[in-house]
Chain A
Amino acid sequence: MTSHTGFLTTFAIVAASLGGMGDARAQGVQSQGAQSQGAQGAQGTPITVAVGAPVTSMDPHYHTLTPNEQAHTHVFERLVETDDKARLRPGLAESWKLIDDTTWEFKLRATNFHDGSPFTAEDVAYTIARVPTVLNSPGSFSIYINAISGVEIVDAHTIRLRTKGVYPLLPVDLSQVFVISHKLGPNPTTEDFNSGKNTIGTGPYRLVSYKNGDRIELDRNEAFWGEKPAWSHVTYRMISNEAARTAALLSGDVALIDSVPTADIAKLRTDSRMKLWETVSLRLIYIMLDQSRDGPTPFVKGPNGETLDKNPLKDRRVREALSIAINRPAIVDRVMENAAIPSGQFLPPGSYSYAPDVPPPAFDATRAKALLAEAGYPNGLTITLHSSNDRYLNDAKIVQTVGQMWSRIGIKTTVEPSPWTNFVGHANKQDYSTFLLGWGSSTGESSNPLRSLVATFDASKGRGAVNRARYTSPALDALIDKALVTVDDGAREKILMEGVRMVMADTALIPLHQQKNTWATKAGLTYVPRADEETRVFDLRPAK
């Protein structure tokens, strides 16, 4: 559907030039209020927003899927929340501390569920017990509570969680798990969450109705403990077609859209009726290089297409040559329309465990050629570069550009983008040699990519689960082990930064850029763009 975006550019021009004609629609903020049968004599203003990704369930423990979680944050809360820069802040827990090496104590907030019942430690224990029991889950939240070995309720507002061994990341993990009410009884079903029967949280909004593939209706929780949201009623629409989403904003039907298509960004930026909000995200786009084979790798051949007797990607010099042959600022400027920043590591500047001394690798075609020659490939190589074509912003265009850049240092490159459904299965089976992927560090710190992307693949330890290149470095593994048992945040950060330096010095993978997340709203509103890509309507307010 990406081909639609071209039309939209024309679309936006015409719309902007005829803009004055549509005054009647300017107050779209109120437009859909009457639709919600559930909205009770609302004081205040209703609002309609549109998100791109469909919400597939209202059960907060069914599927670890960002589009679902961002909808759930309106209704439910977690013990630990994260701010717009993905730093931890108190949620349902007012404070937490380690009382010995393996025991965390959480002090809970005094607040109520939407049904009026008080929130207590029992609800936390119930939530932790429920998470692993959800039936048919295609992606379980149990990965975030696996570290917990025991739960002790001290009093109604104090709970202690014991971990298997020292586990400093428990608060980070719990910032992914929504708390539900123990009143739901044994085995609450996903269907009852979808119907609204079980959808009782403590969050700023109450669920009125959920229609899959269409919309969610929410009413403000007037008893919410935190800052009161500005909108009395929210219609949360799902419009996956990019052009249709932008059109809904331009026509005044919705006040906020997320994932603004890159082709429309420039136009919306200059439209005085609209305002664009963007922030650098935690999502890194990178290229993985097959390390699983010592012998020939299927898609790297000699300069004339002949099979090599070994895998050149095992040679650090070749990996570095491939990395510095890429002109990152050019990709960011031309392909990404500046909706990204060049990157040389997992996280954007300002994040916990970002290493300031690791810049994006500078473009240097001469040195890249020299490195190739030094590695024994003076006449270059022949490479097929794989990617998805429907998963990441401009993924197919990025590999085409990289292919051209590689060709300039004497590497004949063919690119082969395919649909994600097909691509990811092959990538998981080490069928490719060089392939483009993206990684959003859900926890906002680099132990997450280190553990998953570059740690040695080891099922028994649960490490390297998406290390699709099967990169391995014993020194790095030891460092990760050390970081994961270092309780002190400052000391752990130093170790993680050392890990980042080690990965990048060895070019374990080729980082390209950090995406930006973009939202567009009507003028006259303020919005807090979030690094974790989540869209939250309570972060949208009238401008003062």
Chain B
Amino acid sequence: MAGWLVRRLVQAGFVMLAMSAIVFVGLHAIGNPVDILISPDADQAERARAIAALGLDKPLWEQYFFFLRGAVQGDLGRSFVFNEPALKLILGRMPATLELAVTAVIMSVLVGLPLGLFAGLYPNSIAGRTVMAGSIMGFSLPGFWVGLMLIMVFAVTLGWLPSSGRGTTAELFGVQWSFLTRDGLRHLLMPALNLSLFNISLVLRLARAGVRETMPLDYIRFARAKGLSPRRVVFVHVLRNILIPVVTVVGLELGSTIAFSVVTESVFAWPGMGKLIIDSINVLDRPVIVAYLMIVVALFVTINLVVDLLYTVLDPRVRLGGRA
């Protein structure tokens, strides 16, 4: 187990290293941030000063070397735009994204799993078919369009919910969270729903397929023949066995929901990391882009780790490490 963990971490280290090198070279190829950031009124001397101030006058390999030296000491550089440490900027935006993503994923499980079970148990009923048809909407409608429609209906027309932004926050563990206040929840509801629609459909379809596959299996028939209540058959024997694919997907989706909720964040003006990264890409703010992607890699590694550990809990046959 320990060896397995170490191998995982070393792999993650290499991924980060490769990724940072690619980002450095890639951004360098796109353009010079000073071209974008500098005042149009600036003269040639000021331009040269700005390039030197941001360290962009050095050869690329040297810039990369400085970055690595800093990274080893936990310093991922300062944002060209905000003049603050990139890591601090991203971590400052993280709670907003985390609460949005976690709420969305919880919603997708709470809504998707029961609906999926239902559709799997009663595949030919009208309700079951309706659920399946509805789920097509969930993954085929583009997120920004659904977002705008939600705003139009619930904010502009009905006036029930605020159109965008993050509401009042309250402190927990030294961090500001908006899910702790009523106003914050009102602001959270629409973006979270928008973000979860796709995942609801995904979980729903996985659950349904799992149920359809599991129901005819011998051990289920045996359980029924044994006279177990239908409730026990479904919630213990069936549910537990369909959870493995669901957990895998939910884990991966949590990662991508955190890392790439850009569209929802910009439609709902949600001040999270997604908006930060898209703004940073637009001005080639390299320190922020690199730091962000490193955090995302770390995040995915962690989530995969947790998912693997969850497998062992859900299915005792899964052994970690073994003969890899």
Question: In the assembled complex, how far is the CB of residue B157 from the closest CB belonging to chain A, in whole angstroms?
Answer: 5
Task: Answer yes or no: A63 CB below 8 A from chain B CBs.
Answer: yes
Cβ-based interface call for A116 (8 A): no
Given A138-B34, A251-B156, A251-B159, A466 contacting B81 (CB threshold 8 A): no
The chain A residues found within 8 Å of chain B, CB to CB, are 1, 4, 7-8, 11, 14-15, 18, 21-22, 24-25, 35, 50, 54, 56-57, 59, 62-65, 135-140, 142-143, 190-191, 194, 211-215, 237-241, 243-245, 247-248, 250-253, 390, 419-422, 424-425, 428, 439-440, 442, 448, 452, 459, 462-463, 465-466
Of chain A, the residue at the smallest CB distance from B152 is: A11
Flag if A14 contacts B152 (CB, 8 Å): yes
Among residues of A, the one whose C-beta sits closest to the C-beta of B270 is: A214
- Do residues B165 and A422 form an inter-chain contact, with CB atoms below 8 A? no
Q: Which of B45-53, B116-124, B291-299 contacts A (4 or more CB under 8 A)?
A: B45-53
Cβ-defined contact, A251 with B155, below 8 A: yes
Residue ID in chain B nearest A463 by CB atoms: B43
Contact string against A for B residues 32-50, beta-carbon threshold 8 Å, 1 for contact and 0 otherwise: 1111111111111111011
- Checking A138, A238, A241, A440 against B53 with a beta-carbon cut-off of 8 angstroms, the contacting residue is A138
Is B214 interfacial (CB 8 A cutoff)? no
Chain A CB within 8 A of B102 CB: no
Would you call B145 an interface residue if the criterion is a C-beta within 8 Å of the partner chain's C-beta atoms?
A: yes
Assess whether A244 is in contact with B84, with CB atoms less than 8 Å apart. Answer: no
Of B32, B44, B45, B158, most buried by chain A (CB within 10 Å of CB) is: B44
Q: Taking each of B80, B157, B269, which has the highest tally of chain A beta carbons within 10 Å of its own beta carbon?
A: B269
Q: How far is the CA of A428 from the CA of B145 in the complex (A)?
A: 37
Selected contact of A424 from candidates B31, B165, B269, CB within 8 Å: B31
Residues of A within 8 A of B41 (CB): 64, 143, 442, 448, 452
* Given known A7-B148, A238-B269, A440-B40, contact A63–B155 (CB-CB < 8 A): no
Report the Cα distance A519→B281, complex, angstroms. Answer: 27
Residues of B within 8 A of A238 (CB): 269
Separation of A390 and B282 alpha carbons in the complex (Å): 10
Cα distance A213–B164 when bound, in Å? 13
Residue of A nearest to B44 (CB): A459
Are the C-beta atoms of B269 and A142 separated by less than 8 Å?
no
From the candidates A190, A237, A243, A422, name the one contacting B148 in the complex (CB within 8 A). A243
Q: Which residue of B has the minimal Cβ distance to A14?
A: B152
**CB < 8 Å: which of B145, B151, B276, B279 contacts A247?**
B151
Residues from chain A with Cβ under 8 Å of B155 in the complex: 247, 251, 253
Hey, which chain A residues are within 8 Å of B208, CB to CB?
Answer: none
Indicate if B162 sits at the interface (CB-CB under 8 A): yes
- Pick 16 A–B contacts, CB within 8 A, sort by A: A21-B158, A22-B158, A64-B41, A137-B83, A139-B50, A142-B46, A143-B39, A143-B41, A215-B165, A240-B275, A244-B151, A247-B164, A253-B155, A253-B164, A442-B41, A459-B45
- Cα-based distance from A65 to B81 in the complex (angstroms): 10
The answer to whether A136 and B53 have CB atoms under 8 Å apart is yes
- Known contacts A35-B168, A143-B39, A194 near B84 by CB under 8 Å: yes
Task: From known contacts A136-B83, A462-B45, infer whether A241 and B269 are also in contact, taking CB-CB under 8 Å.
Answer: yes
Contact B83 A8 (CB under 8 A): no
Measured between beta carbons, the chain B residues less than 8 angstroms from A59 are: 83
Asked if B261 is at the interface of the complex by the 8 Å CB criterion, the answer is no
The 10 lowest CB-CB distance pairs between A and B, nearest first, are A462-B43, A64-B39, A214-B271, A425-B31, A138-B37, A459-B44, A251-B155, A251-B163, A239-B269, A139-B39
Count of chain B residues near A, Cβ 8 A: 61
Contacts of A241 in B (CB 8 A): 266-267, 269
Minimum CB–CB distance from A163 to chain B (whole Å) comes to 16
Write the nearest CB–CB distance from A140 to chain B, whole angstroms. Answer: 6
Q: Does B138 contact A (CB under 8 A)?
A: no
Instruction: State whether the Cβ of B205 lies closer than 8 Å to any Cβ in chain A.
Output: no
Distance to closest chain B CB from A229 (angstroms): 23
A533-B171 Cα distance, complex, nearest whole Å = 37
Asked whether A247 lies within 8 Å of B152 as measured between CB atoms, the reply is yes
Cβ of B43: which chain A residues have Cβ within 8 Å of it? 143, 459, 462-463, 465
A54-B279, A253-B164, A424-B36 in contact; A62/B83 too (CB < 8 A)?
Answer: yes
Judging by beta carbons under 8 Å apart, are B40 and A138 in contact? Answer: no
Closest to B144 in A: A4
Cα distance A452–B168 in the bound complex, in angstroms = 46
Contact with A along B55-96 (1 / 0, CB 8 A): 000000000000000000000001011111000010011000
Q: Which residues of A contact B276 (CB under 8 A)?
A: 213
B275 / chain A contacts, CB cutoff of 8 Å: 213, 240
- Closest A residue to B92 by beta carbon equals A212
Please measure, in the bound complex, the distance between the C-alpha atom of A86 and the C-alpha atom of B306, giving whole angstroms: 59
Residues of A within 8 A of B81 (CB): 56, 63, 138
Interfacial chain B residues near A421, Cβ < 8 Å: 30-31, 36, 281-284
Whether the pair B40, A136 counts as a contact (CB closer than 8 A) is no
Task: List 17 other contacts, CB 8 Å, given A138-B54, A213-B271, A244-B267.
Answer: A7-B145, A15-B152, A64-B41, A138-B81, A139-B46, A140-B50, A212-B82, A212-B92, A214-B166, A247-B156, A247-B163, A250-B163, A251-B159, A251-B162, A251-B163, A421-B282, A462-B45
**Looking across the interface, which residue of chain A has its beta carbon closest to that of B268?**
A244
When the two chains form their complex, are residues B165 and A253 in contact, meaning their CB atoms are under 8 A apart?
yes
A439 contact set on B, CB distance < 8 A: 40
Indicate which residue in B39, B82, B148, B269 contacts A8 across the interface (CB closer than 8 Å): B148
With A and B bound together, what is the CA distance between A422 and B53 in angstroms? 22
CB within 8 Å for A465 and B47 given contacts A21-B157, A251-B162:
yes
Residue of B nearest to A243 (CB): B148
